[in-house]
């Protein structure tokens, strides 16, 4: 069965969601991210996707304290993303409790550094590939690039990347279903890659369909917070 990973996106220490990566659409769901994380764990969920949106926008980790609180207050396997630009960031986040790091902007802007991190940190490194169509976007989706998703992944596979989180910006936060065609193409092209689908999940059937496509993991965000997928339904899938 596909793994299920709820998302907590952080701005100013609070749990929020955006629509299509637009910071002006910010909606606050909770002032207590630890409480939200504990509710996930109480329903049998074991993984958490934690995004520092302040860090993603500014290029500097800003909400490490939230990571520390959740890591000490739960047993969740946390993958953290947003603003990771230095080796010191990675070491600090590992010490704060992150099991894996989602890295997007730096992989585009300094691929040599990213490749070195893959060599040093191995499975702790996840390529966070946020796309418009098949083109990578960076800096909290504020900047476009001309780098093709499939070209980038193909090159990084040669350097040992094993994990990719792929978010289609056009679907993220829209609650209209994920980009099934994109994930189908990724799965067909990269048989051994651990693929996480992110963006657009609206109903439990979306998860079932991704499972049938042999996608390894799915991130669920707004659908939980807006009540479209109750945690009790996710708990049933995990049994």
- Give residue 132's pLDDT band: very low, low, confident or very high (50, 70, 90): confident
Give just the sign of the alpha carbon dihedral 218, 221, 224, 227. Answer: negative
Residue 138 in this model has a pLDDT that exceeds 90: no
Residue 142 in this model has a pLDDT that exceeds 80: no
Per-residue model confidence (pLDDT) at position 170: 76
Residue 140 in this model has a pLDDT that exceeds 60: no
**What residues are annotated to the active site?**
9, 130
Question: Strand 3-11 relative to strand 47-52: parallel, antiparallel, unpaired?
Answer: parallel
Q: Other C-beta atoms within 10 Å of 57: how many? A: 18
The predicted model scores a pTM of 0.95
Per-residue model confidence (pLDDT) at position 21: 77
- Give residue 139's pLDDT band: very low, low, confident or very high (50, 70, 90): low
Distance CA 46, CA 229 (A): 17
pLDDT tens for each residue of 94-103: 999 999 999 9
Contacts of 181 (CB under 8 A, 6+ apart): none
Give just the sign of the alpha carbon dihedral 103, 107, 113, 115. Answer: positive
Per-residue model confidence (pLDDT) at position 206: 96
CA angle 57, 171, 78 (to 5 degrees): 55
As given in the structure block, the two tokens for residue 169 are 């910006």
The domain 3-237 belongs to what CATH superfamily?
A: Aldolase class I (3.20.20.70)
Domain boundaries, the chain: 3-237
pLDDT tens for each residue of 195-239: 999 999 999 999 999 999 999 999 999 999 999 999 999 999 988
Q: What is the dihedral of CA 69, 70, 75, 78, to 10 degrees?
A: -130
């Amino acid at each position: 069965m596909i793994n299920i990973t709820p998302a907590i996106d952080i701005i100013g220490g609070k749990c929020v969601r955006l629509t299509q990566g637009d910071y002006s659409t910010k909606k606050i769901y909770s002032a207590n991210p630890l409480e939200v994380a504990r509710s996930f764990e109480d329903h049998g969920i074991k993984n958490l996707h934690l995004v520092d949106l302040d860090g993603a926008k500014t290029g500097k980790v800003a909400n490490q304290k939230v990571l520390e609180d959740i890591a000490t207050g739960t047993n969740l396997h946390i993958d953290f993303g947003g603003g990771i630009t230095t080796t010191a960031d990675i070491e600090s986040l590992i010490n704060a409790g992150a099991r894996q790091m989602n890295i997007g902007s730096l992989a585009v802007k300094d691929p040599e550094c990213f490749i070195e991190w893959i060599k040093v940190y191995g499975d702790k490194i996840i390529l966070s590939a946020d796309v418009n169509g098949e083109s990578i976007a960076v800096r909290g989706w504020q900047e476009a690039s001309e780098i093709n998703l499939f070209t980038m992944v193909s090159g990084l596979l040669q350097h040992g990347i094993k994990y990719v989180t792929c978010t289609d910006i056009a679907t993220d936060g829209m609650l209209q279903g994920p980009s099934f065609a994109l994930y189908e193409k990724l799965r067909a092209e990269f048989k051994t890659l651990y693929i996480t689908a992110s963006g657009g999940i609206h109903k439990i059937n979306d998860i079932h369909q991704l499972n049938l496509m042999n996608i390894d993991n799915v991130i669920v965000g707004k659908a939980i917070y807006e009540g479209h997928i109750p945690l009790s339904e996710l708990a049933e899938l995990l049994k």
